[in-house]
A and B are shown apart, each in its own frame.
Chain A
Amino acid sequence: MPLHKEKSRLDVPLNQRDYLKSHPKSPTINRVFELSLTYIQRADEAHKRGQKVYYGGGVYDSPILHANDAFPCVYNELGRLAGDDSVALAEEHFQIPNETCSMVKATMGELLRRKNSFKGLIAYCSLCEPYNTAFEVLKEEGYDVYSVDLPYRAAGVNDARFESLVDFSEKELTGLAEWIGGGRVDEERLAEEIRRTNLIHAKVRRLLDLQVANPDYIGTLETMFIWNGANHHYGAPEEYEDILDQLIAELEEVSAIERKIDRVPIVWCGGRGQEFGIYKLLDDLGGYISKWTMAGRLLRDYDESLPPLRAIAYNNVLGMGGPGGAKDQIPFLEQSLEDTKSRGIIFYGYFGCSFTSVNFEVIKNHFAHKGTPSLVLDGSFQIGDPSGQNVTRLKAFMEMVTNG
């Protein structure tokens, strides 16, 4: 019996930890949750043991940090801890206006609380304006911050100009690697980390394919937790890889039994919300995410034939570092819709996030002309219930796509 018919998870208390621990099917999934839920705590412990802990984006900095035996921790996982009180703390301490994106405020509040729990902060420029300024303000508060400037890859940038962007990005990443490595970069070790990341990426991709074929076995939120760790591995690469192996084995076993999928496939475009109730609701409404566009970017393999920092720079410019013009995302989405026979697209961004907003409008406009239904949701970063507005809109959208 499909999970959504077996038991409505709307009955589960809306507390992320309880919700995650209540998952009934895969024992391995609980290990993923455990890894995620203890991530920040393990970072704090690593710091106490004397390991260098850095907060960063958790993607392109991760191989660099692993290669330096540092512990990579990520801002978006701070959202797992953050509630309204973190936001209020940031607003009060830094006098940040309330209209600022909740992700930035929640992060700043949590970083303020944990000032003595890490060595440094890695600030990526270009992706998000509130963060850019927030890190400058944190510098003034005495935090050790290294800014990595990222070039913006606008639509249509190619050839010589693309290479120029990569050159710049490589220099910026070299600066970061030297900052972390105390002035030196161990290229051999870095190349090793890149190879390991590529292997892990391949496993995550395999797992995502298996999950899409078995959406009743592993739900949407659980899936997000799995691929979330594809680059930072929740600070525990061996454990994370072992979990992936076990999950693949589990899903391959499940796949051997033929089942009919009566869920509605939807493509997810944009950010990963911490307001986990959205994913829970999507499952309860009989949907599932057939493709995550961000996962496509985050699971791009590094080119092992290149010097490692150059390889990271390429992925950086192609991926999150320069999200590119909105139009660059359209072919991927078209392919995803076709491959998965998805019935629509959900765009998800945080309220106040400018870099997703116009992209969504452009992409939505493109697909509206093709008759593909889509929904834009403005979410919030800190954990908690989705807003009533988002719940209503998601319900209406799912009803529309389910009934054709």
Chain B
Amino acid sequence: MTEQNKEAGTQKRAGYFCIYTPIEVIAAAGATPIRLFKGGDSIVVNSGEVYTRSYFCQFAQYSVGAFREDDPLYRSIDKIYHFNTCDQMKKGVEAIGEFFDVPYKMLCLPRERNRDASRQFMQREVEFFRKDVEELTGNPVTDEGLREQIRKYNQARQWVKRLSELRKQDVPPLTGGEFLDIVKAFYYLPVETSLKYFEEFYSHIAAEKASGERPIRLMISGGIIADGDRRLIDLIEKELGARIVVEDHCTGLRPFYYPIPEDKPPLQALSDGYLDTAPCARMKPLEERLDFSQKLADEYRIDAIIYVSLKFCSCYSISKNSFTKRFHGLEIPVLDISADYSENDLGQLRTRIGAFFELIRKGDSHAAA
């Protein structure tokens, strides 16, 4: 069925923005899940602002603007599924549905992830999601089909995690920018294709012996780094010579860290698995998110953290003080950057990050430029 649909060009495409969408359900229905996470272009942002407000984060504005600007990838989507994460994205999706006639389904994602009531509710929401995807595609989503997709996506997540772990070496064979390309492959390619690609790439890169001086090892933490928003990463790695060895954000390593359980009934596995994924700052309790950030920092033996939050992103901007306090307590320097997609602050960023690196080289653990 899926192959026939592909040939006929009728395979449905389901778009999603946030990583809490159980894409296994979409794939099990023979549809293609596509994460919509482009960003970085201020012209598209301005276009989206017409329907949001100036105080929406620029990722949300971009997401709306991409539909207004007829981005071919976004416009190829048959339906958007949105497990309600932050309020701005929720409202952004409603704006897309209202102003651009894009069908969408809003689903709930409980915040208090450890409560029994949340678990039961999430499972019911995944069940409603499954029914909707079946209606969209006309294909049944069977338990067996879900199990198969859970296995495949877990394998893909495992490969991404293994590729990331190569960066634990003193001189990582992979840059942060290259790792984000791997992540892009996960979100844009069919899982079968990406599995093949990851395996080949891993064998190639793991065989390489990286040499040279140990660079400053950085963790990037905070909100989304969109596909297309590379200026900060390029500045850090290409211009200033440091290396991003791990990402504690939703377009980096974070969503790949924990697999979906394979030993539970599939709907329960998906609802539990997605609630148990390494948490976004929107989830509660906040302390668990900080614990996870600390775990990554330990594992990847980082020297410092650059905390990036998009302006007007309440989840990451309001919690950044808690984050900074936690890491200063651990004597790990943190540089806080409030970012957007404009180009005019590049010089300022260059100065601040350059000064931050200098302080790190001098061994100042409380550095914050």
Interface residues, chain A, with chain B CB atoms under 8 Å away: 94-97, 99-101, 104, 125-126, 128-130, 132-134, 136-137, 139-140, 147, 149, 151-152, 154-155, 161, 164-165, 167-168, 171-172, 175, 325-327, 351-352, 354-355, 357-359, 361-362, 365, 378
Contact = CB atoms under 8 A, between A and B. Distances in A.
Contacts of A134: 318
30 contacts: A95-B320, A95-B321, A96-B318, A99-B55, A128-B87, A129-B87, A129-B314, A130-B314, A132-B314, A133-B286, A133-B314, A133-B319, A134-B318, A136-B319, A137-B321, A149-B112, A149-B117, A149-B118, A151-B108, A152-B108, A154-B94, A155-B94, A168-B120, A354-B87, A354-B88, A357-B52, A357-B53, A358-B52, A358-B91, A362-B94
Contact of B321 (A94, A172, A351, A355): A94
Contact of B286 (A140, A152, A155, A325): A140
Given A100-B314, A137-B322, A352 B121 contact: no
B95 A140 contact: no
Contacts of A101: 314
Contact of A149 (B88, B98, B111): B111
B136 to A, nearest CB: 15
B51 interface: yes
B281 interface: yes
B63 interface: no
Contacts of A125: 111-112, 284
Interface residues of B, number: 47
Contacts of A358: 51-52, 91-92, 94-95, 98
Contact of B128 (A104, A133, A161, A361): A161
A147 B112 contact: yes
Contacts of A326: 94, 98
Contact of B315 (A97, A129, A171): A129
B204 interface: no
Contact of A129 (B86, B94, B98, B120): B86
Given A139-B285, A152-B90, A171-B117, A130 B318 contact: yes
6 shortest A-B CB distances, which residue pairs? A154-B106, A136-B286, A171-B117, A358-B91, A95-B321, A130-B314
B364 to A, nearest CB: 20
Interface in B177-213: none
B164 interface: no
Interface of B: 51-53, 55-56, 84, 86-88, 90-92, 94-95, 98-99, 106, 108, 110-112, 115, 117-118, 120-121, 124-125, 128, 281-282, 284-287, 311-312, 314-315, 317-322, 324, 338
A181 to B, nearest CB: 18
Contacts of A95: 320-321, 324
A152 B53 contact: no
Contacts of A161: 128
Contacts of B111: 125-126, 132, 147, 149
Nearest to B56: A354
Contacts of A151: 108, 110, 121
B93 to A, nearest CB: 9
A134 B286 CA distance: 10
B108 to A, nearest CB: 5
B126 to A, nearest CB: 12
Given A136-B319, A147-B112, A175 B281 contact: no
Given A151-B108, A362-B95, A362-B98, A132 B121 contact: no
B340 to A, nearest CB: 11
Contacts of A139: 285-286
B104 to A, nearest CB: 9
B286 A352 contact: no
Nearest to B316: A133
Given A99-B311, A139-B285, A147-B111, A164 B319 contact: no
Given A137-B286, A172-B117, 17 more contacts: A94-B318, A95-B321, A96-B317, A136-B284, A137-B321, A137-B322, A147-B112, A149-B112, A149-B118, A151-B108, A164-B124, A164-B125, A354-B56, A355-B91, A358-B94, A358-B95, A365-B99
Nearest to B338: A97
A87 B92 CA distance: 28
Nearest to A325: B94
A355 B87 contact: yes
A152 B82 CA distance: 12
B52 A133 contact: no
A155 B91 CA distance: 12
Given A97-B338, A125-B112, A357-B91, A164 B121 contact: yes
A128 B91 CA distance: 12
